[in-house]
Structure 1
Amino acid sequence: MKLSSAVAGFAMALAMAIAAPVGAQEKIVVGAYPANPPWEYKSETGTFEGYEIDVATEVAKRLNRPVEFQDMGFQALFAATSSGRIDFAISSISVTNERLKNQSFTQPYYDSDGTVVGREGTSIASLEDLEGKVIGVVAGTTGEAWAKENKDKLGIADITSYNAQQDLLLDVQNGRIDGGAGELAGFQYAMTKTPGLKVLVRIPTGERFAMMSRKDHPAVGEANDAISAMKKDGTLAAIHKKWFGVDPDQGTSTVTDLPLPKAE
């Protein structure tokens, strides 16, 4: 290479370096199932909104990295994190020991229970009343796992699987199935858009939601530290109040700093 060419090349590289924004880093790619309000959904303009969208956006901000959200089906999130297609997945994903064997999670930021919802006026008032009934679930969720685990014990006649929560609730509303099993807060929010439904049974499952990534992703620790800071300075509590209208309960994972979850 001629000297003049080398000098010109160096000058161009230097100019590009100077033009680059200070502190610019690689973006964080977050997969989300946007049919899951209030956790994540798309507005009329196509932008992502929701409780966990706010959490992930704030985490990226504190890491000084831009964030990109990708629209994915719930079950696809697990393969996408494992393959490295996305850095994190959100969608009211519960931290479970089984999932921790193959995935990593930040500390949780929301405590939830399960529920069975049904039509107003139904005779179902307890878990025992599910005998002989057809129950709907969203595929790949802890609601599906609970229903399958308790099918024989409770005498559930059949379990119908759905890809979208709204399709499940419409079938409950129209009487095609007797009820739907899933996560309490998500159903409560969705029922404000689907009249004629009510919570039939609350199931104390002890679920806790967190950001999920591939096993031992290097960004998990940084994201976890950001979530700790958000709990300590009240940011997570403010996000909770924004979406649910009330302050989080003391002692819950929304306000309590917790260690990284580990498989037992």
Structure 2
Amino acid sequence: MKKTLLTMTVATSMVLAACGVSDEGQESDGYKPTLTMGTSADYKPFEYVDTAVGDEIIGYDVDLANLIADELGFDIKIQDMDFSGLVTALSNGQVDFVMSAMTPTEERKENVEFTDVYYVAKDLLISLDGSDISTVEDLEGKTVGVQLGSIQQEFADDLGKEMHLTVETRNRIPELMQDVANERFDAIIVENIVAEGYLQGDDELRGEVIEVEEQEAGSAIAFPKESEWTKQFDEVLEELKESGEIDELAKKWFDNDQTE
């Protein structure tokens, strides 16, 4: 499938400069440009650090980004930051693209643009085992925790307009899990694939899948407006879907023991 979409020509140099990618050293043989990927490495198994192994950020999104980089002929530098700051970092040119299981909401599209969706998940409502919370309706009068800047926060905020509940935010998923376990929250809302990694082997917490009607769904890659890279990433994503490599990544990170 290997097709090279980047040709090191003067025209390409202009494109790279426009995208904020340095062309320093481009004349040397074997040169590849480097793109900085912004992510929030607290979202296992999409992007996280396995401290038992080392300090490298790994996960589904990282593997997918590397597959795309191999196809398009660039190297990746990963920058970890709070999820709530990713869109701002992209708009300000601190990073070249964002891969962090980010949903392409209409609000985000006002500031950045997205590739096609590459993965769709559902949300889990997590509470202490034995609590009386198992549906959205049970959140009446309760305190709910969500990740700051996430699609789950948007859902909870909208829910708060319809019923009486308190929404609190945290920057990182482990903070949410800890606070619901310590009863600072009555419940939290987290994406199911991410939540399952924390729920395995934890008898104190339980999760219920919730259906969120009319909520934008799926994860996509974010770029600055009118980026030269968006179309190229979309072409590679389509190839990876057709070849089955995206399905293989899903099996690797979601079906095996990677979330334990």
TM class by smaller structure: 0.7 to 0.9
The structure 2 residue matched to 1:239, chosen from 217, 239, 249, is 249
- 1:216 counterpart = 2:216: no
Residues 42-191 of structure 1 correspond to what in structure 2 (within 5 A)? 42-44=49-51, 45-156=54-165, 158-191=166-199
Q: Is the 8 A contact 2:40 2:47 kept in 1?
A: yes
Q: Is the 8 A contact 2:143 2:167 kept in 1?
A: yes
Cα separation, 1, equivalents of 2:63 and 2:132:
39
- 1:196 counterpart = 2:197: no
Indicate the residue corresponding to 1:36 in structure 2: 43
- TM-superposed CA distance for 1:189, in Å, is 2.1
Cα separation, 2, equivalents of 1:195 and 1:34:
25
- TM-superposed CA distance for 1:17, in Å, is 8.2
Q: CA, structure 1 residues 33+132, in 2 after alignment: closer, same or farther (shift >3 Å)?
A: same
Cα separation, 2, equivalents of 1:152 and 1:17:
54
- TM-superposed CA distance for 1:34, in Å, is 0.6
Higher Rg = 1
Q: What code does the residue aligned with 2:182 have?
A: N
| Identity among equivalent pairs (%) | 26
- TM-superposed CA distance for 1:46, in Å, is 1.0
Q: What code does the residue aligned with 1:216 have?
A: E
Q: Is the 8 A contact 1:39 1:52 kept in 2?
A: yes
Q: Which runs of 4+ in 1 moved over 6 A?
A: none
Q: CA, structure 1 residues 228+17, in 2 after alignment: closer, same or farther (shift >3 Å)?
A: closer
Structure 1, unpaired ranges of 5+? 1-15, 247-264
Q: What code does the residue aligned with 1:173 have?
A: A
Deviations 1:179-208 (A, max 9, x none): 002322211223237542111341234511
Q: Provide the aligned length of Structure 1 versus Structure 2.
A: 228
Q: Is the 8 A contact 2:36 2:97 kept in 1?
A: yes
Cα separation, 1, equivalents of 2:91 and 2:108:
11
Structure 2, unpaired ranges of 5+? 1-24
- TM-superposed CA distance for 1:128, in Å, is 1.3
Q: Is the 8 A contact 1:127 1:201 kept in 2?
A: no
Q: Could you say what secondary structure the match of 1:46 adopts? A: coil
Give the structure-1-normalised TM-score: 0.81
Give the structure-2-normalised TM-score: 0.82
Q: Could you say what secondary structure the match of 2:240 adopts? A: helix
Q: Is the 8 A contact 1:144 1:182 kept in 2?
A: no
Cα separation, 2, equivalents of 1:47 and 1:192:
23
